Structures are given as structure tokens and as C-alpha cells.
Amino acid sequence: MATTAEDSFDPYAERPSFWRQHESGTWAVAMFVLTVVLTVLSFPPYSTPEFAYAFAAPAIFWAYLRPSLKLYAGTLMAAQAVAWTIILSWLHNVTWGGLFLLGPFVGIWIGLWYLAVWWAMPLIRPHTPLRRVIGVLGLAAFWVFIEWTRTWFLGGFPWLPLAASQWQRSILLQIASYTGAYGISFILITFNLGFAAYAHRLLREKHKGLRKRSPEFMAALLVLMFPSFLLLTEVFSQDRKELIRFSLVQPYVPQTLKWDPAMGPGIMDVLEETTLNAALDRPDVILWPEAVTPWAVRGDDNTKAYVESLSARANIPLLLGSIAIEQLNQPDEAWFNGVFLVTPHDGLQTGYYAKRHLVPFGEYVPLRPVLGWLSKFVPIGDDFQAGEDAHPLLVPRRNGDMVIVGPLICYEDIYPQLALSSARTGAELLTVHTNNGWFGEGGAAYQHAAHSVLRAVETRRPVVRVGNVGWSGWIDEFGNIRQTVTNYEDSIFFRGSQLAVVTRDRRWIGRESFYTKHGDWFVLTCMGLALLAGLMLKFTLPPPVPTETTEPDSPEPL
């Protein structure tokens, strides 16, 4: 007699647990939440950079368990898109549309790395310890490659590389003077990989005794500890001398008023008041932020006369951000976002620094013949032109000495190559003239400042920042934040000025860092390492599984 489904049903059989019935979905939800939370908390404005050592570990651990590609990719891509939309949430002050385009785009671009993890981790586990270590280092190298592509792909937006999470942890930063910030990111992601491998070893692999050791985790510890201890003497054995005294002026002009012609006279009054107050500290130079004057200092005679008169009244040079209009009212008229030097006796200097990396849709519309129907976010002038070189400025001190300054404008300090070129042209320090007023009083100011810390270590040059509102101060050549300009309420968002006495370590006067001399050699090395690891995993078979059980406490060969 045929047996029906009802006949075969056993009412006493144990039903699958809720976990077993929904295991894949539960893993996906848990990985999504953990990845979003840990990624966001790793970066400023949150003061929890330690999460950067483990933010990717849950997703890496999950890859060991061989989830389906569709589930894994969908979960991690969505998590990265959400995390980076949260990280960049300050962009809504300028454009909601830009936020919901840029946040997911950056997240998905970084999320490509997790696809490599999904492919590699199951292949790495059966290999010998040495090849497992090579595989993990290859994945870390691939992370560096993806970060590097963010500096140029579609114009480039390398905002918040993983290294920026450690902007307040100077010991780990020192490797950047050799490898650039990419070396810091390599160390952090290697630790994530090692941590996940060790967790899998303990929780999912049935080893005992010495066989519980994870070669990936031991390698990650070496990668973390060795360069930090090697460079400790550079941080703690400093011999500093005064370089220059700056007064940093924050005019705090709201963006809603900045480009309103009717507000121009009021803005000039604010500049005059804050500048004359700053002059009371008797600095060598007074610094103004980016595009601070409502009219072009080069191209508008009244504005030129105004800043020259103000410098003469204060009897102190001004290093200021403003606009230059060349070939005014000519067919080839050109606008530049620049940094200018005004001295009390000689007035506005002829030479100036012109911004080299412009903001798409802020200072120009890319692919103008195709996208000409789109407008800029900044309601002044036509498209700006990009500067062609670093063009350092010779800034005088009260004692008659000259200091070679390498200016950077707006978000140029997020691009390592721009700071490198300034250092190579002889700049003794870098200044960043910016306007974070676009982004409100949120995390953008702290995130932006984190990049200046990386540039200081990479070039071994102090970096002095001045903003319309938001993070102003200076950072020494070892990434130590020497001064943050705040008011009596300890807020960076205020109108006023403050004196900054910038010093230099004598050992680095007249010297260039290894990274300044050799550039992105580490990126090329990582490309080779990632390719080597990928070929090894693709074409090399893991050792056969032994037929006899080995002694549980016998050590694994190193």
C-alpha cells in the first residue's frame, strides 16, 4: 500500500527551531546592523576610533560560513550605502539629492571589497598558515587599491579613508610618513581580517591546545605593533623651535548671506572688526578663510583697496582667501579661487595660489556640453578655472625672515598628491583655507580636519587650518593637534580669532619625508600583493585533508 504524507507525519518529531528556520535572514539582519553601526562609529565626529579595528570583522566572519553571494552582496552593499549616507549626512545642508546620490555611491564603491572577501575567505581557510597569511595580506592590499581609486575615479572623492578614523591617535599615524595614509588603512583592515580569522578559529573550528592559534591574527598583531614601536622615537624625541605666529580669524558668515550683494558691506564690517581684534595679539600674519570677501580681491578695485588699507591699519600682513578675475570683461575672462598675500607696505602681491582641484557643481559643471542645463551650488560667476601648480607663497615674519607657505583651499587637503606637490616645492608648512559653513554645525568640520592630520604626518610639515566657521587650529608634523580654536564654551562654531604659535621639530627643517620623495610606492606594492594573493588562491590547491586524526595538542607548523 502506498504511503501518504499524512501517514508518514510523525507528531513527536522535533520541529526545527526558529533559528534554523530563519538562519540566513537572521545572519543578514545582524551583519547589516553591526556593519552600519561599527562603520559609522569608527569615524569622526565620534570619538571611538577603536571600532575601526573591528568594523569589518563581523562581515568577514560571515564570509567564512559561505552564505549565498546574492544574500551576502545585497546585505553588505546595502549596509555600506546606509552607513556612508549617515556619515555624509551633513551634505543635506547643501543638497539632499547630492547626499542620496553620493552616500550610496561611496558606500557601494567601498562595498566592492566585501565581494572579494566573500570569494577569498572560504579559499583561504584550508591552506597552509603561510598561504593563509598571504591571502589575508592580499585582501588588505586590495582595500588600499580601492581607497586609491577614490582619489581619481570620476574626478575623485577620497573623503574619510580608513586612516582618518585614527586622527586623534598619533602613534599609529607615523607610518604615513613612509607609506602615506594608505599604510594606516592597511594596518587597520589587516587587524579586522586577523580578528575575524581568530574568532572563526575559536568558535567554528574544532581545534584544541596550540592548534587554536591563528596565524592570520598573529600576522595582524605584527603588522600593527612593528611600525608603531619602530617610529616611537620620532614622536617622543622632539626638539622644537618657533616658526611663525598666526592669528586665525573665523568671521562666521552664514552661507545664506555670504553671496547676497546687499550683505556685502556688513560682511566687510565683520572682517574689519575680527581682524583688528586679531592684530592686538601682534602675530606675524593674520589668516582669513576661503573666499572670505564678498567681492573679488583681484578684479575689484574697491575690495583690493579695502584689504590693503586694513593690512596697513593693523600693520600686519594678511594671508586671505578670495577670488581672482583675470582678463576682466574680456572674451577670455577667467575666475580663480585663490589665496593672496597682502602686506602693509606693498599691498596686494602679484603672485597668488589658485585652487587646483575644483568642486564639481560647486565651482564648475563637469561635462558642460552635456550637463550645461545643470547649475552650480555657488551662485557667483561662471565656471572657475583650476590652478596649474602648487605656487608656494613667501610670507614675512616680524623679524624679517621669510617662511615658505604652501596653501590649500577648501577640501584640497583630502588629496594627498596636492599636499605632496606643495611640500616638494619647498613649503615649510601648509595652510588650509576653507569654508565649512556650507555644512552646518555638524560632523563635517571634524571629518575635514582629520584629513589635515594625515597630510601633516605624510609630509612632515605643520598644517595650519582656518575656516569661516568650524575647525581652525594647527597640527604638528607628527599629527599631534597642538591647538584647536574654541570659544569660552569650548565650541569650534563661533565668530572670533585666536593666536597660534606654530613650531617645528628641528630634525625636519629642510628635510623631506620618505613619502614626499617617493610618492605612492606603497600603492603599487599593494597592487602586486593583491594580484599575487588572488592568483595563489585561484590556481593553488589547498593541502589534502589528512585521513588520520592528529594529536589535538600538537602545534600547527608555522
Determine the Cα–Cα distance for residues 96 and 443; give it in Å rounded to an integer.
16
Determine the Cα–Cα distance for residues 132 and 236; give it in Å rounded to an integer.
36
Tell me whether strands 240-250 and 496-505 are parallel, antiparallel or unpaired: antiparallel
Determine the Cα–Cα distance for residues 430 and 393; give it in Å rounded to an integer.
10
Q: Are 197 and 126 in contact (CB under 8 A)?
A: no
* End-to-end CA separation in angstroms for the chain: 62
Q: Is 314 exposed, middle or buried (0-12, 13-18, 19+ CB in 10 A)?
A: buried
What are the extents of the domains in the chain?
Answer: 20-235+521-539, 240-511
Determine the Cα–Cα distance for residues 15 and 451; give it in Å rounded to an integer.
55
What lies within 8 Å, CB to CB, of 529 at 6+ separation is 137, 138, 141
Handedness of CA 235, 484, 161, 406 (dihedral sign): negative
Superfamily of domain 240-511: Carbon-nitrogen hydrolase (3.60.110.10)
For the chain, state the CA radius of gyration: 27
pLDDT at position 470 is 85
In the Cβ-directed half-sphere of 220, how many Cα atoms lie within 13 Å?
Answer: 26
For every one of its 558 residues, what pLDDT tens digit does the chain have, with 9 covering 90 and above?
A: 555 555 555 555 555 655 565 678 899 999 999 999 999 999 999 999 999 999 999 999 999 999 999 999 999 999 999 999 999 999 988 888 889 999 999 999 999 999 999 999 989 988 888 999 999 999 999 999 999 999 998 788 999 999 999 999 998 999 999 999 999 999 999 999 999 999 998 888 766 655 667 899 999 999 998 877 777 777 777 889 999 999 999 999 887 777 778 889 999 999 999 999 999 999 999 999 999 999 999 999 999 999 999 999 999 999 999 999 998 878 889 999 999 999 999 999 999 999 999 987 666 665 444 444 455 455 555 688 999 999 999 999 999 899 999 999 999 999 999 999 999 999 999 999 999 877 888 899 999 999 999 999 999 999 999 999 889 999 999 999 999 999 999 999 999 999 999 999 999 999 999 999 999 999 999 999 999 999 999 887 777 655 444 444 443 443
pLDDT at position 284 is 97
- Per DSSP, helices labelled H in 372-425 are 416-424
Q: At what angle do helices 57-64 and 23-42 cross, to 10 degrees?
A: 150
Q: Are 115 and 73 in contact (CB under 8 A)?
A: yes
Determine the Cα–Cα distance for residues 451 and 432; give it in Å rounded to an integer.
11
The Cα angle at residue 160 between residues 364 and 509, in degrees rounded to 5:
95
Determine the Cα–Cα distance for residues 142 and 72; give it in Å rounded to an integer.
19
Q: At what angle do helices 96-124 and 521-539 cross, to 10 degrees?
A: 50
* DSSP 8-state assignment for residue 298: B
Q: Is 47 exposed, middle or buried (0-12, 13-18, 19+ CB in 10 A)?
A: exposed
What lies within 8 Å, CB to CB, of 502 at 6+ separation is 242, 243, 244, 245, 246, 429, 462, 464, 474, 482
Q: Are 279 and 312 in contact (CB under 8 A)?
A: no
Q: How many CB atoms lie within 10 A of CB 556?
A: 15
* DSSP 8-state assignment for residue 413: G
Nearest to 43 by CA among 102, 105, 92, 89: 89
DSSP SS3 for 340 = strand
Nearest to 294 by CA among 384, 376, 365, 380: 380
Cell numbers 606637490 correspond to: 421
